[in-house]
Amino acid sequence: MINVGIIGATGYVGIEIARILSAHPGFKITSAVSQSFAGKRISDVYPALNGILDLELESLSIEKICANTDFFITALPHGVSGKIIPELARRGKRIIDHSADFRYRNTGIYEKWYKAKHQMPELNELAVYGLPELYREKIKSARITANPGCYPTASILGIAPLLAEKVISTEGIIVDAASGISGAGRKTDLPYQYCEASENFKAYGIAVHRHTSEIEQEMSLLAGKEILVSFTPHLLPMKRGLLATIYAGLEGRYSTGKLLDLYKTFYRDEFFVRILKEGMFPETRYTSGSNFIDIGLAVDERLNRVVIISSIDNLGKGAASQAVQCLNIMNGLPENAGIERAGMFI
């Protein structure tokens, strides 16, 4: 068993990682850091874990947590990791980070969209964008893996084959997406209160959501040219699940079947990418609780456009289980160890 520490263990991403690792054949959680709940057991905070994971939560002591552990997953609010990660890195630890800090090749773009000075530019060079389907080889030896955002995961994997194969126009790409409320984290803000969020649907971050820049970076790299994207996220009245509906104009004529073949080829070795049959489209419940991404598409021949639908669990492939996928890769374990199951679909 390989030792792993989780820093920020009681947020929704942290606890989902803890839940997965508690049943993982290859890892052992050696420390679970939570400033809010230090001294309590994880199962006091999340009683579902009673008898399964009763580890005591601890406040942060770099020395203590580093003593017997070489891998850390940080699931912290943006900005907080700047004090912790350099300490871990200095001690030679390998890190999977959930903040946006290490997702950008160009820290200037990070600084512009996140309206903050990058705190660790020197570490940024050690970081790999943790999307295994695109960066598997680099992740294997990464010092720091920057776990992608949930919307970028669904968007980038949803469109990658079309950009790589240059069958769509790089102008006018639109990503219209919607996420379950757990994507906001374990917050007590009023908009996420049951009576405010139930029976409601809304867009947010219109034209300014920070994931836009992350999506654009990876789409541009795939296309080999700069791409700007119109991205609109929405908030769904449900806990988990994320669906992206992606619109692009075709360069040339393609049938739906032809494009699906192209996807199947592009992702032929990917366990976690499921390309749906023609006429079938993803629903969030099919990926809920799992690390799968489901993709379906249709060519609109009237408009010579394509509509791609991709679906993930925002806490799964969009966060926690993707981190475990990276952790498996970084440790040479089978990539789907501990995350090969279907989630609860009823």
Subset of 43-72 contacting its own copies (CB under 8 A): 46-53
Q: Which is nearer to its own copies, 141 or 200 (CB)?
A: 200
Classify 286 as helix, strand or coil.
helix
Count the residues in the chain.
346
* Residues between 166 and 195 that touch its own copies (CB under 8 A): 172, 174, 176, 178, 180-182, 186-190, 192-195
Classify 298 as helix, strand or coil.
strand
- Rounded to an integer, what distance in angstroms lies between the CA atom of residue 179 and that of residue 151? 8
Classify 273 as helix, strand or coil.
strand
Asked if 286 is part of the footprint of its own copies (rule: CB under 8 A), the reply reads yes
* Residues between 116 and 175 that touch its own copies (CB under 8 A): 172, 174
Any idea which residue has 């649907």 for tokens?
201
Establish whether 150 is a catalytic residue: yes
- Rounded to an integer, what distance in angstroms lies between the CA atom of residue 312 and that of residue 317? 6
Q: Which residues contact 117 (CB under 8 A, 6 or more apart)?
A: 111
On whether the CB atoms of residues 220 and 227 are closer than 8 A, the answer is: yes
Asked if 1 is part of the footprint of its own copies (rule: CB under 8 A), the reply reads no
* Residues between 290 and 309 that touch its own copies (CB under 8 A): 290, 292, 294, 298-300, 302-303, 305, 307, 309
Size of the site for its own copies (CB under 8 A): 87
Contacts by residues 254-262 (CB-CB < 8 Å, ≥ 24 positions apart): 254/167, 254/299, 254/306, 255/299, 256/297, 256/298, 256/299, 259/161, 259/162, 259/167, 259/297, 259/299, 259/306, 260/297, 262/161, 262/162, 262/165, 262/167
Q: Which is nearer to its own copies, 198 or 265 (CB)?
A: 198
Q: Which is nearer to its own copies, 139 or 339 (CB)?
A: 339
- The least distance separating its own copies from the CB of residue 243, rounded to whole angstroms, comes to 5
The CA–CA distances, whole Å, from 27 to 254, 337, 338 equal 46, 10, 9
- The least distance separating its own copies from the CB of residue 304, rounded to whole angstroms, comes to 10
Q: Which is nearer to its own copies, 148 or 180 (CB)?
A: 180
Q: Which of 243, 293, 323, 324 binds its own copies (CB under 8 A)?
A: 243
Q: Which of 315, 319, 323, 326 binds its own copies (CB under 8 A)?
A: 315
Residue (of 82, 132, 99, 140) closest to 13 by Cα position = 99
Residue 28 structure tokens: 């052992």
- The least distance separating its own copies from the CB of residue 52, rounded to whole angstroms, comes to 5
- The values of phi and psi at residue 340, to 5°, are -90, -5
Q: Which is nearer to its own copies, 122 or 268 (CB)?
A: 268
- The least distance separating its own copies from the CB of residue 119, rounded to whole angstroms, comes to 26
Q: Which is nearer to its own copies, 144 or 177 (CB)?
A: 177
* Residues between 10 and 39 that touch its own copies (CB under 8 A): 12, 15-16, 19, 22-23
Q: Which of 14, 148, 289, 318 binds its own copies (CB under 8 A)?
A: 289
- The least distance separating its own copies from the CB of residue 125, rounded to whole angstroms, comes to 27
* Residues between 256 and 275 that touch its own copies (CB under 8 A): 271, 274
On whether the CB atoms of residues 139 and 329 are closer than 8 A, the answer is: yes
Q: Which of 66, 150, 195, 326 is catalytic?
A: 150
CA 254 to chain centre: 30
Q: Which of 249, 261, 278, 331 binds its own copies (CB under 8 A)?
A: 249
- The values of phi and psi at residue 12, to 5°, are -65, -35
Task: Give the residue numbers annotated as catalytic, written as ranges.
Answer: 150
